[in-house]
Amino acid sequence: MRVFSSIDELRHTLDALKRQGRTVALVPTMGYLHAGHMELVSRARAENDLVVVSIFVNPLQFGQAEDLSKYPRDLERDSAMLKQAGVNFLFAPGVEDMYPRPILAVVDVPDLGRELEGAVRPGHFAGVATVVSKLFNIVQPQTAYFGEKDYQQVVIIKRMVEDLAIPVRVISVPTVRDADGLAFSSRNVYLSAEERRAAAIVPQTLDEAERLVADGLTDARELEAKLTTFLGREPLAKPEVVAVRDASTLEPVGSIEEPVVVALFVRFGSTRLLDNRVIGSNRAAGSNRIAGVIGGKGQTGKSQPGKGVTK
């Protein structure tokens, strides 16, 4: 695995390989890797010739009072995990590489970016869309992989790619969970032992949503109210967003007819956890796929297998 921090050096190396016909995938991350990230990597490896993983804790997507400075980082451990997983390139730029001067051009996807997590984290999704655009421009991958845990992020990136005709296929990967159902997340490390135990209420609430809808509940507001009450069973859980939205557009719905996404943002102490489930889709229950916005699995971008992949 080769490690780059310079945009120009990475580009130069990739350009030569692309001229030989190799397909390139990008897995953008903020590092402190866990099984969720590694699932993205494994999909990318299976479906492409070359995989670039980026690790960059992007200051643009953090609010002033947020955890930018204490965000967990361990580049050495991450690097060993990626090497072991057969990743070809790690792009780990510093802030000075990505933003050598204050960035004036931004990419924004209003109104999608103002909803849900965007309402709690003003400016967050403009920061995400801007850095993802920049990473797409640097790597120019055919395919990029994102996790469905960050459901709204995938919807926004999909929309950005479509609206701006960016030639990248966006693939979403189902959420990888710990034994008690909690989604793996780098920020789980902030939880105390008691908060970590309590956090199991989050996936349990999504199970409850599925049960209620299967039992015939169709009123979205009623579902939100019942889920908020359900979360109330756990005194450490402080719900910030409990929302039932159209699974494709994220628009509010009155009645649950088309597939909806149940989106949760729940605080435990100072840590905000997010999770979601798509309900009412004709795909397998609980598969957590993003209805209507995500390209299918199976299509592989691999060129001729076995043609001297750079390790």
Ligand X SMILES: CC(C)(CO)[C@@H](O)C(=O)[O-]
Determine the interface stretch with ligand ATP among 43-51, 106-114, 168-176, 262-270 (rule: CB under 6 A): 168-176
Residue 110, both tokens: 């209003």
Among 61, 130, 133, 271, binds ligand BAL (CB under 6 A): 61
Q: Does 150 bind ligand BAL (CB under 6 A)?
A: yes
Q: Which does 132 bind (CB under 5 to 8 A by kind): ligand ATP, ligand BAL, ligand X, none?
A: ligand X
Peptide bond into 207 cis (omega under 30): no
Contact call for residue 143 and ligand ATP (CB under 6 A): no
CB of 150 to ligand BAL, least distance (A): 5
Q: Are 239 and 264 in contact (CB under 8 A)?
A: yes
| Using rule CB under 6 A, residue 41 touches ligand X | no
Task: Report the DSSP pairing between strands 2-4 and 89-91.
Answer: parallel
Q: Is residue 256 within the footprint of ligand X (CB under 6 A)?
A: no
Query: How is 21-69 classified by DSSP, letter by letter?
Result: T--EEEEEE-SS--HHHHHHHHHHHHH-SEEEEEE---GGGS-TTSSTT
Q: Is 12 annotated as a binding residue?
A: no
Nearest alpha-carbon partner for 53 in 172, 146, 153: 146
Cα R_g (the chain), whole angstroms: 19
Shortest distance, position 110 Cβ to ligand X, whole Å: 17
Which of these is catalytic: 7, 26, 29, 37? 37
Considering only 26, 38, 43, 58, the residue that binds ligand X (CB under 6 A) is 58
Partner interacting with residue 176 (select from ligand X, ligand BAL, ligand ATP, none; CB below 5-8 Å by kind): ligand ATP
Of 113, 127, 141, 147, the one binding ligand ATP (CB under 6 A) is: 147
Please tell me whether 124 is known to bind a ligand: no
Quick one: which of 197, 217, 198, 199 has its CA closest to 208? 217
Contact between 28 and ligand X per CB under 6 A: yes
Task: Establish if 93 lies at the interface with ligand X (CB under 6 A).
Answer: no
Asked if residue 181 lies in contact with residue 198, where contact means CB atoms within 8 angstroms, the answer is no
**Tokens at 256, concatenated:** 């649950």
d(CA 220, CA 78): 41
Locate tokens 């199970």: which residue? 207
Quick check: 44 binds ligand X (CB under 6 A)?
Answer: no
DSSP 68-104: TTTS---HHHHHHHHHHTT-SEEE---HHHH-SS---
Site string for ligand X, 110-139 (x = CB under 6 A): ------------------x--xx-------
Q: Give catalytic status of residue 37 as yes or no.
A: yes
Residue closer to ligand X by CB (options 148, 150) is 150
Give residues in contact with ligand ATP (CB under 6 A): 29-30, 36-37, 39-40, 146-147, 149-150, 173, 175-176, 183-187
Give residues in contact with ligand BAL (CB under 6 A): 30, 61, 150
